[in-house]
């Protein structure tokens, strides 16, 4: 699911699990962390970058903390810039758009999902 | 079951490098149980390949499929209607499955995504260990159910060698001496007479001698 998010254009994914030792599914959040680590290894191997996925542990009552984690992750991803996939896709999209713009009256400018600067931070709650 | 290990992604990427459209084919048999070749692993590998290729600016079209078994013809045949639309098949089955696809889907290059490693068991979640080398002449009834061919690092047949130290094999401390295990087990069962019996030399002709092995069951053939 996390890899799919990157395929679909996410620049970063933050996975939020409940506090360790306090999971309704006992070790669900521990397993989730290991799986996130595996995803990070895959992202490193595929050239996307391991630092684009992160797991944090929060309780359902830590709304303010969630906001600060999300904001910090958002800054972190903005600093990294768009994922290499989005860079390639936006370049590919820019070529026909530029060709169209050259035509008299043709619509110009890139746009749509995956363009440069497009940032999607997807926080998925792994376990309640 | 047959246990395997996923090949490094870099190696798989170099295998599929010439192609733009491939099938990634899993198997619901052994490789699903040992978590290298089932549905989930097909999805993960397909995603990883698509990500790597998209990042490199050469998108890869991947069809994901998992067969009931890649080592039985009726399931392999289910791929025939569409396999020609793709330039190759990346199989997550064991070596037998990969070869069977190659034998039957002759027009398609079939590539292995896993290294088939051994016949073994799940000792605990995420940990597998070898138990059988398919020597074709089972002696487990005489050795307390512990295989000297597999569990003894030297496949010795007549008791522990001089390298056995405090129940451990000389090749590594974490490897138990197969013959120590056998003797401990026979003692616990009160069957040490099995150990004391002189046994004839093992017939290795049923093992790797004589080329690829084949079994024909007249009661089942059609």
State the CATH number of the domain containing residue B69: 3.40.50.2300
Digit-coded pLDDT (tens) for B71-115: 999 999 999 999 999 999 999 999 999 999 999 999 999 999 999
Q: Which positions in chain B have a beta carbon within 8 angstroms of at least one beta carbon in chain A? A: 9-10, 43-44, 47-48, 50-52, 54-57
Q: ipTM, 2 decimals? A: 0.77
Q: Would you say residue B216 lies in a domain?
A: no
Q: Could you report how far apart the first and last alpha carbons of chain A are, in Å? A: 17
The string of DSSP letters for B43-112 reads HHHHHHHHHHHHHTT---EEEEEEES-TTSHHHHGGGHHHHTTSSEEEE-S-HHHHHHHHHHSTTS-EEE
Confidence of residue A120 (pLDDT cuts 50, 70, 90): very low
Residue A96 sits at φ, ψ, to 5 deg, of -65, -30
For residues A66 and A16, the answer to whether their CB atoms sit within 8 Å is yes
Domain ends where: B93, B118, B143? B118
- Which domain, by its residues, includes B110? 2-118
From the list A4, A42, A88, the residue facing B54 with the nearest CB is A88
Mean pLDDT of A109-127: 40
Helix (H) or strand (E) holding B123: strand B114-124
Residues B114, B138: one domain? no
Q: What is the rounded CA–CA span in Å between residue A122 and residue B144?
A: 55
Residue A8's nearest CA partner among A75, A77, A81, A86 is: A86
Domain count, chain B: 2
Helix (H) or strand (E) holding A41: helix A28-45
Residue B39 sits at φ, ψ, to 5 deg, of -50, -50
Residues B106, B144: one domain? no
For residue B206, the SS3 value is helix
Residues B17, B99: one domain? yes
For residue A62, the SS3 value is coil
Q: Would you say residue B20 lies in a domain?
A: yes
Domain ends where: B85, B118, B151? B118
- Model-wide pTM > 0.90: no
From the centroid of its chain, how far is CA B84? 28
Confidence of residue A117 (pLDDT cuts 50, 70, 90): very low
Residues B106, B141: one domain? no
Mean pLDDT of B31-40: 96
Q: Give the model's pLDDT for residue A27.
A: 87
Q: Would you say residue B177 lies in a domain?
A: yes
Q: Give the model's pLDDT for residue A2.
A: 93
Mean pLDDT of B44-70: 97
- Residue to mutate among A5, A34, A36, A85, with most B CBs inside 10 A, is A85
> Which has more pLDDT, B67 or A109?
B67
Do the chains contact at B55 and A7, CB–CB below 8 Å?
no
For residue B149, the SS3 value is helix
Mean pLDDT of A87-93: 88
Token output for B58: 């050469």
Confidence of residue A102 (pLDDT cuts 50, 70, 90): low
Partner residues linked to A15 by β-bridges? A55, A124
Q: What is the rounded CA–CA span in Å between residue B36 and residue B24?
A: 13
Q: What is the rounded CA–CA span in Å between residue B43 and residue A31?
A: 19
Do the chains contact at A3 and B44, CB–CB below 8 Å?
yes
C-alpha distance from A7 to closest chain B C-alpha (Å): 6
Confidence of residue A110 (pLDDT cuts 50, 70, 90): very low
Examine the pLDDT at A93 and tell me if it is beyond 70. yes
Confidence of residue A92 (pLDDT cuts 50, 70, 90): confident
Digit-coded pLDDT (tens) for B107-165: 999 999 999 999 999 999 999 999 999 999 999 999 999 999 999 999 998 888 999 99
Digit-coded pLDDT (tens) for A49-76: 999 999 999 998 999 999 999 999 999 9
Residues B84, B176: one domain? no
Confidence of residue A103 (pLDDT cuts 50, 70, 90): low
Q: Give the model's pLDDT for residue B198.
A: 87
Residues B81, B32: one domain? yes
Strands A53-57 and B2-6: unpaired
Digit-coded pLDDT (tens) for B158-190: 888 999 999 999 999 999 999 999 999 999 999
Domain ends where: B72, B92, B118? B118
Burial A113-124 (b: 16+ CB within 10 A, else e): ebbeebbbbeee
Q: Would you say residue B36 lies in a domain?
A: yes
Average pLDDT of every residue of chain B: 95
For residue B3, the SS3 value is strand
Q: Residue B202 has what DSSP assignment? A: P
Q: Would you say residue B126 lies in a domain?
A: no
Confidence of residue A26 (pLDDT cuts 50, 70, 90): confident
Examine the pLDDT at B219 and tell me if it is beyond 60. yes
From the list A4, A45, A85, the residue facing B54 with the nearest CB is A85
Residues B72, B145: one domain? no
Residues B113, B138: one domain? no
């Amino acid at each position: 699911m996390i890899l799919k998010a990157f395929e679909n254009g996410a620049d970063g994914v933050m996975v939020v699990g409940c506090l360790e030792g306090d999971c309704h599914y006992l070790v669900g959040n521990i397993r989730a962390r290991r799986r996130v680590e595996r995803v990070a290894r895959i992202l490193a191997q595929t050239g996307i970058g391991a630092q684009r996925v992160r797991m944090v542990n929060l309780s359902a009552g830590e709304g303010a903390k969630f906001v600060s984690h999300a904001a910090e992750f958002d800054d972190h991803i903005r600093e990294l810039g768009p994922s290499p996939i989005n860079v390639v896709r936006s370049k590919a999209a820019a070529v026909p758009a530029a060709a169209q713009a050259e035509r008299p009256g043709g619509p110009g400018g890139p746009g749509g999902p995956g363009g440069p600067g497009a940032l999607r931070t997807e926080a998925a709650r792994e376990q309640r | 079951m047959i246990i395997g290990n996923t090949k490094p992604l870099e190696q798989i990427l170099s295998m599929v490098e010439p192609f733009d459209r491939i099938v990634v084919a899993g198997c619901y048999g052994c490789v699903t149980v040992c978590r290298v070749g089932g549905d989930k692993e097909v999805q993960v590998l397909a995603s990883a390949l698509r990500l790597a290729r998209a990042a490199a600016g050469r998108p890869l079209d991947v069809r994901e499929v998992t067969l009931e078994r890649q080592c039985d013809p009726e399931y392999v045949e289910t791929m025939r209607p569409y396999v020609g639309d793709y330039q190759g098949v990346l199989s997550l089955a064991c070596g037998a499955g990969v070869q069977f696809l190659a034998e039957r889907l002759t027009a398609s290059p079939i590539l292995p995504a896993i290294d088939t490693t051994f016949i073994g068991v799940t000792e605990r979640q995420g940990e597998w260990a070898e138990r059988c080398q398919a020597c074709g002449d089972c002696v487990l009834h005489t050795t307390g159910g512990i295989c000297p061919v597999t569990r003894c690092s030297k496949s010795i047949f007549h008791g522990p060698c001089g390298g056995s130290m405090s129940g451990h094999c000389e090749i590594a401390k974490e490897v138990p001496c197969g013959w120590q295990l056998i003797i401990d087990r026979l003692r616990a069962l009160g069957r040490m007479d099995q150990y004391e019996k002189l046994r004839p030399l093992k017939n290795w002709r049923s093992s790797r001698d004589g080329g690829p092995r084949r079994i024909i069951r007249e009661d089942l053939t059609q």
